[in-house]
Every structure is written in C-alpha cells, then in structure tokens.
A and B are shown apart, each in its own frame.
Chain A
Amino acid sequence: MAIATEKLIADLQSSFGSALSNFEQPYGLLTFQTNKDSIIPVLKYLNENEEYRFRFLTDVCAVHYPATKELAVVYHVQSMENNFRVRIKVFIPESNPKIPTATVLYESANWQERETYDFFGVLFEGHPNLKRILNVDDMVAFPLRKEHPLEDPNRIDKNDTYFGR
C-alpha cells in the first residue's frame, strides 16, 4: 500500500491550492511549507484521509532564522501503514510568533509544543498548559534563539587566559 509522491502532492494542491508552497524532497523526504492558518486543516486532511492515514505525529520542533527574523515550526508526520513520512514547515515572524496548537489532533504534541515554547518562545494558541517545561520557571529569555549565549554569563570563576580568549 505504498503512496506515490506525485499523487500526494497533486491531492494536497487540489485541496489547499496556494496555501502550500516549496515542495521539495531533500534526502528522499517530502517537504513543503504552509502558513499558520492552514497548518491544522492540512494536518487534519492528512490524518483523516483513508488512503493516506498519516496518523502518527513524529516530531514538532522549531528553527530560528535571525537573518529574516523568522521562526520555522517544523512538523514531521508519518503513516505507519504506508511507511511514508512528510515534513511540513510553517514560517512565523519573530515579532508575532503565534500558531494554532496541534494538540487538537495529536496528544503527543502537548509536551513537544511546550518544549518549543520554552526554547524559542513560539506561542501555541489553544494549548492546554503552555508553560516552560525544561528550563527553570522564572527564566525570561528563550535560550535556543541564536542571540542567546551558550555559557552562563554570570560566572565569576572563569579565568579567560586559560581558555585562550
């Protein structure tokens, strides 16, 4: 019961038209972009379609692009019966990082979206409990953004001459 990639692309484009763009297949994995208003309908379409059956959300994460001041939220879904994976990207502006939550479809998005919020500050609208999960609760910065330093800036015991700085 394999999926033909061209048929999937054609079906998606006929259902969603111009909301989808940038279809490519880096290293054999079908990838496309959409916008934040269409992401939940696209995921729902892939989930409920009887032929495709993308019933498993593998991963939700984000990437920060400071050059264009955007955050990309990346979803990986897979269909276990058909053994097919798809990657969907949504670019949202840093100044207004809002996107609807995927917990309406998949329970596994719950903590993954909390982690994405914790690291990047992406606000998932409709999430039942959008709080920090891995960092300390009173942290204000979003550490995985590119401008945040790796090392703790408040250390007083590091002698820079030993570290070649």
Chain B
Amino acid sequence: MSDIKIVSAPEGIEGAGFFATRLDKVVGLARSHSLWPLPFATSCCGIEFMATMGSHYDFARFGSERPSFSPRQADLLMVMGTIAKKMGPVLKQVYLQMAEPRWVIAVGACASSGGIFDTYSVMQGIDEIIPVDVYVPGCPPRPEAIIDGFNRIQDLVKSESMRRRNLPEYQALMTNYGIK
C-alpha cells in the first residue's frame, strides 16, 4: 500500500489553518483528476476501450469512475473508432452539446486520420470537423497507449490557464470549425 502515489499539493504558502496558492493550479489539479469521459466508441477501438475499462487495466483509477453517456455532463470526448461521413454530423452535434471546458481525444488511426480506410465514405480524421487535443495512434492502440493518451490530456488540463477559452486564438479556432 505504501507505493501508491498521492497527488502532491501545488506550491504555495502554508500557515496555521490556511494554504495560499494560485487559483488555476488548484482548479487544474481538481479537474485533471476527475475528468468524466464520454466514450464515443464506434468500432474496434471501442472493444479495446472496454478492455481498458476492465479490471486488468482499470481506467477508473485515473478519476474516470463515471463514464458519462450524456454530453451535457461530460468533460472529455473520447472518439474511438472510424467516423464515416454519415456519422460526422452526429459527432459534431454531440461535441456542440458539451459545455466548456471540453477536451477531445482521438483514439486510434481511424479517428486521427482515417486509418487504413482511404475511401469515399470515411472521414479522414475527426479534425475535419472538431478540434482535437490529443491523438493516440494504433490500430487498435494497446490499453497502455490509451492510458498514456489520457495522461497527456490530464497534463493539458492541469496546466491550462483560466482564460484560455476566452482568448482570441481559441475563438479563431472555433470560428475556423464553424462552432460559435
């Protein structure tokens, strides 16, 4: 039991009965260890995600005990599997229903870039329609790779500034995708 790492407190000034630190550090700490994912599993990568959620690899120990299937209550959209052109509008609608702050992880080769399916009916990567934060390559990626991708998202969440969603660069990114 002694080699379990507990998250260390951020740097700050401590005294009798108080702890002073930066707000964004505390918020980032809390958010990154309690991300609620939305598993948008379409195909083979979804089965590998089910293996990650099983007891052998145990995804829940990173704070994702409750995978939310409702976009309104989710922080992280995990797109796992091929997205065909027919599915594109559905994915965009799910993304639009999520509340800020939201992150997107593209799991697998098909979600990142179309994978082995360079055909007329497959969207060549979900970043054609939604902005993506982390790409996890693999066909399907091993559960360790999916967990590694999730850890990269946790790093992004931990170090995100409070103002990021209001900055002009972010607004320009959203307008680029046609999202208001």
Contact = CB atoms under 8 A, between A and B. Distances in A.
A150 interface: yes
B106 to A, nearest CB: 16
A151 interface: yes
Interface of A is mostly: loop
Contacts, number: 22
Most chain A beta carbons < 10 A, residue from B86, B120, B121, B124: B120
A145 B158 CA distance: 52
A118 to B, nearest CB: 11
A148 B121 CA distance: 12
Given A150-B119, A152-B119, A135 B124 contact: no
A155 B124 contact: yes
B119 A151 contact: yes
Contacts of B120: 143, 148-152
B121 A135 contact: yes
Contact of B86 (A136, A148, A150): A136
A135 B119 CA distance: 12
Contacts of B86: 135-136
Interface in A82-140: 134-136
B118 interface: yes
A9 to B, nearest CB: 41
Nearest to B119: A150
B85 interface: yes
Give the contact-size bracket for chain B: under 10
Given A152-B124, A155-B124, A136 B85 contact: yes
A165 to B, nearest CB: 13
A143 B120 CA distance: 8
Nearest to B88: A136
Interface string B124-161: 10000000000000000000000000000000000000
A61 B65 CA distance: 46
A164 B73 CA distance: 47
A162 to B, nearest CB: 13
A148 B119 CA distance: 11
Contacts of A136: 85-86, 121
Interface in B74-98: 85-86
Contacts of B118: 150-152
Nearest to A135: B121
A39 B47 CA distance: 43
A91 B120 CA distance: 27
Interface of A: 134-136, 143, 148-152, 155, 157
Which 8 A-B residue pairs are closest in the complex by CB-CB distance? A152-B120, A136-B86, A151-B118, A150-B119, A136-B85, A143-B120, A135-B121, A151-B119
8 contacts: A135-B86, A136-B86, A136-B121, A143-B120, A150-B119, A151-B118, A152-B119, A152-B124
Given A149-B120, A150-B120, A152-B120, 13 more contacts: A134-B121, A135-B86, A136-B85, A136-B86, A136-B121, A148-B120, A150-B118, A150-B119, A151-B119, A152-B118, A152-B124, A155-B124, A157-B124
